[in-house]
Amino acid sequence: MLPIMTQFGYQMEWQYLSAGNLQALVEVIPLISGMDQGRFIPSLTLMNGFRHSKTGVEIAFGPTFRVNQVAVGYYDQNNVWRRKSYWAETEMLEDGSVPENPNDVHENIDSKGDYKLSYGFTLAAGKTFKSGHLNVPVNVYVTPNLHGVLFGASFGFNVRTRGRKSEKL
């Protein structure tokens, strides 16, 4: 699996407080990742954040829940991922015993593994660029967890027509 993957999703947000130029927001972001690599990795992020009304600058934070396929295994001397059971299958001694695996055995993403829920805390920052009724949000985010750090960037668009009266032709 490549260290970079695409994500496709939708962001829904609700403003629950407005004080001067600041808006307090709650956001729900369902995503599907990895389709470019033949994977289906769904996630859901719930965020609480603040946006400056005039500049469009925003910060937000909250939990991320992800369902992924994982297996316990190791990287061999050629840096090839092997499931834990592979060691016993290939290294069994004549007496039927299996020597201890000298490699670092850990859990990793594996398309043949079992489904597992993982979670993390996401911190995001971004800016929304406006052109007429078109809004283009650009964001960066970081999600640290026990196995490392996930960095990402996202952009999208939306059209805000709220409050406008439609005209009959």
Q: Residue 135: CB partners within 8 Å, gap ≥ 6? A: 128, 129, 157, 158, 159, 160
- Give how far Cα 111 sits from Cα of 1, 9, 44, 71, 140, Å: 9, 21, 20, 9, 27
| Helix, coil or strand: residue 84 | helix
Residue 1: per-residue pLDDT? 63
Residue 147 one-letter amino acid: H
Output the pLDDT for position 51. Answer: 95
Distance of alpha carbon 110 from alpha carbon 41, whole angstroms: 12
Identify the band that residue 148 occupies on the pLDDT scale cut at 50, 70 and 90. Answer: confident
In angstroms, rounded to a whole number, what is the distance separating the alpha carbons of residues 111 and 117?
15
Does 2 have pLDDT greater than 80? no
Kindly compute the dihedral angle of the four CA atoms of residues 126, 132, 133, 135, in this order, to the nearest 10 degrees: -10
Supply the pLDDT for residue 147: 72
pLDDT in tens, 50-76: 999 999 999 999 999 999 889 999 998
**Ranges of each domain in the chain:** 7-68+116-159
> Could you tell me the two tokens for 20?
């001067």
Percent of the chain at pLDDT exceeding 70 = 93
Q: How far apart are CA 141 and CA 6, in angstroms?
A: 14
